[in-house]
């Protein structure tokens, strides 16, 4: 049990701290370029490590697998993580974490629109509370006023992350989760590099002005955000109930807000705390919504937008089923 809690605290702190690391990294490194370097290095090394293990004969990555990886990587890492990195040039890291915490809300809505899933009363209540918290957060004025462009980018990032997660629900990928994750990070890193160059980030990069803190932030994201946190997460999924693992969805924002305040001097207003609490409460309702037809607990959503993709083929399927309103049991003759 001590090992479970050690791994859980690792996920809470490491993934909660990625927002602070992104904030520091993008101070002197263009955001899309930073994300590209991060995911190309993290994904490339992970892929080389994983592809040589397991069922190498019958689980070879195919062109179809790479196509899925590029679609998912574009949605999650360009649309999701890339927009978060851009937004953190304008918005405090704690606020970014609170807005990204709405991913389970968008997942529930997307599941309803795409698959026609009926939502349980607990999920509907969680949606109403969660979006109420978002309105409360972005509507504040004065010293705590949030940059409108940054806020819009974070909401869009959450929607991209949810859309990519929904697509990955049935996307063809290698059965070995680490191989698929490595492919998605490589694909996302390539797309980030293309968009970074196309938007002129390469011309704006001044290597002489890149600070040591930004480099350390990037290294932290690669080593801890992409490898240590992910490894702890995968281990937890195999060794404890997924509802316990799913607590990252509402603990990470709290960690991010506290770290931003303690280490970066970010302003925390009473309205921010209230709005954050409302968002976390809404997310908690959605994450803990269950269907009695599941044999175990389910976790909703994805890791934070500063974290690598996970084994979506299994996790997201169970998460979305858990959001649905229970249907009457039927018997077949």
- Average per-residue pLDDT for the chain: 83
The pLDDT-based confidence of 308 (bands split at 50, 70, 90) is low
Residue 90 has pLDDT above 60, yes or no: yes
- State how far the Cα of 104 lies from the Cα of 120, in Å rounded to an integer: 14
Residue 99 has pLDDT above 50, yes or no: yes
The residue whose two tokens read 């934070």 is 304
pLDDT at position 307, please? Answer: 60
**Between vectors from CA 131 to CA 258 and to CA 97, what angle results, nearest 5°?**
25
Higher pLDDT residue, 57 or 69? 69
Which residues, other chains included, contact 245 with Cβ-Cβ below 8 Å and sequence gap of 6+?
8, 11, 233, 236, 237, 299
pLDDT at position 72, please? Answer: 93
The residue whose two tokens read 């995911």 is 39
The pLDDT-based confidence of 294 (bands split at 50, 70, 90) is very low
Higher pLDDT residue, 187 or 295? 187
16, 257 in Cβ contact below 8 A?
A: no
Q: What percent of the chain has pLDDT over 70?
A: 84
Residue 203 has pLDDT above 60, yes or no: yes
The pLDDT-based confidence of 320 (bands split at 50, 70, 90) is very low
- State how far the Cα of 222 lies from the Cα of 35, in Å rounded to an integer: 10
Task: Retrieve residue 323's tokens.
Answer: 């959001």
pLDDT at position 224, please? Answer: 93
291, 321 in Cβ contact below 8 A?
A: yes
pLDDT at position 141, please? Answer: 62
The pLDDT-based confidence of 317 (bands split at 50, 70, 90) is very low
pLDDT digits (tens, 9 = 90+) for 129-178: 988 988 888 876 666 678 899 999 999 999 998 898 888 878 999 988 88
Which residues, other chains included, contact 225 with Cβ-Cβ below 8 Å and sequence gap of 6+?
14, 15, 17, 18, 21, 306, 307, 308
pLDDT digits (tens, 9 = 90+) for 118-130: 888 888 898 899 8
pLDDT at position 305, please? Answer: 54
Task: Retrieve residue 308's tokens.
Answer: 């690598």
What's the average model confidence in pLDDT over 239-263?
A: 84
The pLDDT-based confidence of 260 (bands split at 50, 70, 90) is very high
The residue whose two tokens read 């490589």 is 186
182-186, 193-197, 322-326: lowest mean pLDDT where? 322-326
Residue 298 has pLDDT above 60, yes or no: no
Burial environment of residue 293 by CB neighbours within 10 A (0 to 12, 13 to 18, 19 or more)? exposed
pLDDT at position 107, please? Answer: 84
Phi then psi for residue 325, to 5 deg, are -70, 130
pLDDT at position 321, please? Answer: 47
């Amino acid at each position: 049990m001590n090992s479970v809690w050690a791994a859980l605290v690792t996920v809470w702190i490491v993934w909660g701290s990625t927002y602070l690391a992104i904030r520091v990294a993008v101070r002197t490194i263009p955001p899309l370029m930073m994300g590209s370097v991060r995911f190309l290095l993290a994904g490339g090394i992970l892929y080389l490590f994983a592809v040589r293990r397991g069922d190498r004969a019958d689980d070879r990555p195919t062109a179809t697998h790479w196509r899925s990886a590029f679609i998912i990587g574009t949605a999650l890492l360009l649309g999701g993580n890339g927009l978060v990195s851009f937004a953190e040039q304008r918005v405090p890291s704690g606020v970014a974490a609170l807005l990204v915490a709405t991913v389970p809300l968008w997942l529930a809505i997307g599941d309803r629109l795409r698959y026609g899933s009926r939502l349980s009363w607990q999920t509907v209540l969680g949606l109403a509370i969660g979006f109420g918290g978002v309105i409360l957060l972005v509507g504040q004025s004065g010293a705590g006023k949030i940059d409108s462009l940054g806020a819009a980018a974070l909401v869009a990032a959450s929607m991209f992350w949810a859309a990519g997660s929904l697509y990955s629900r049935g996307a063809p990928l290698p059965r070995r989760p680490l191989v698929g994750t490595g492919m998605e990070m490589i694909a996302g890193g390539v797309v980030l590099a293309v968009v970074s160059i196309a938007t002129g980030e390469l011309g704006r990069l001044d290597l002489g002005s890149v600070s040591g803190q930004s480099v350390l932030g990037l290294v932290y994201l690669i080593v801890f955000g992409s490898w240590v946190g992910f490894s702890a997460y995968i281990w937890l999924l195999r060794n404890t109930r997924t509802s316990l693992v799913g607590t990252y969805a509402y603990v990470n924002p709290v960690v991010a807000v506290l770290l931003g305040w303690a280490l970066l001097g970010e302003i925390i207003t009473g309205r921010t705390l209230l709005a954050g609490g409302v968002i976390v409460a809404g997310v908690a309702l959605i994450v803990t919504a269950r269907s009695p037809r599941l044999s175990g607990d389910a976790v909703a959503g994805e890791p934070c937008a500063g974290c690598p993709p996970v084994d979506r083929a299994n996790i997201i399927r169970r998460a979305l089923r858990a959001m649905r309103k229970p249907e009457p049991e039927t018997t077949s003759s």
